[in-house]
Structure 1
């Protein structure tokens, strides 16, 4: 069949869109027979669209609820009681002291860290020990952990040293202990200990004192 084209009717309308101040040109094409370009049913978008950010949802976001949190109160060193005793199972050539920290109060509290120690002789003179925190045959080298001491409960610290190799030594009479979170010292008498605890003089291994962190059990203060 020969190609036959119908007259193309083009109607142009200029429409003033109220309130928008813009002119829209609408072309209505009437085509009979074989034509190309326009496919019926195809949507042509000429306006901007609003898109949500990637990962967003149009629904109301759900805010997770956080559970209740509690903070353990720090122990007041002035409210704790301290006592010392001979530590069991010291390393070869070593002597050690076990210090028990008791909580006589009605509420639990927390300690974490190392106590500070100062050794004194019978005249009150400070003995110049070199202090090591952890890492010896007497005490653990584990890092400090938070220890909760319940009402009537206890925590523990071990401090130890090598025995003196020379005769020139100064006996330790007292130890001043400053617990973590505390500024005032507690004075402990070491004269009741059954073994010799003395400063051995400069250069002697017995002039060094190793101290454990506060631990929940006596066994955890010791080197294994």
Structure 2
């Protein structure tokens, strides 16, 4: 029996933000074929280095992994946006340092996941939904350095990519500026199901889903 396990953060672990509406894992269990199973190991607030603990709790019958992580790592760096700098070059240097640190952490985690030799899909970090346009533009731009890492790792390792920036593209997809609503969760689940059912995991290539 195929068994999909969700790893990562509140993109998957969104029950707190949808009230009585179905969360991502509930919707996934409703969408997969009748003889399939799905489990949630993602934890709201987790960062890249927290996923190792999630991997230790994988069900023994796990057949597919889907990872959505990095948003909280980015949030922890948000203070850089308010720092005073002497030149624009200093800004790029700070962003480059953040990118390199994230790439090292994400690459290390992904290699641990791939060592399990289970079909795996990666998710980008979706854009925020801030009501103030300037802050929204800053957030979207800043996230590109984190998403660049995720996209490169997907292509370098030949694994499918779910681009949540394209999946969640309406205000109704968000319960607040950074968490998925029930509607957004349904879109995410549809992308996951499409990736798992349509991608040929026996071949090493990257296919983008949304």
- Give your verdict on TM over 0.5: no
TM-score scaled to structure 1, two decimals? 0.22
**More RCO (CA 8 Å, sep 6+):** 2
Greater Rg over alpha carbons, structure: 1
TM-score scaled to structure 2, two decimals? 0.23
More strand by share: 1
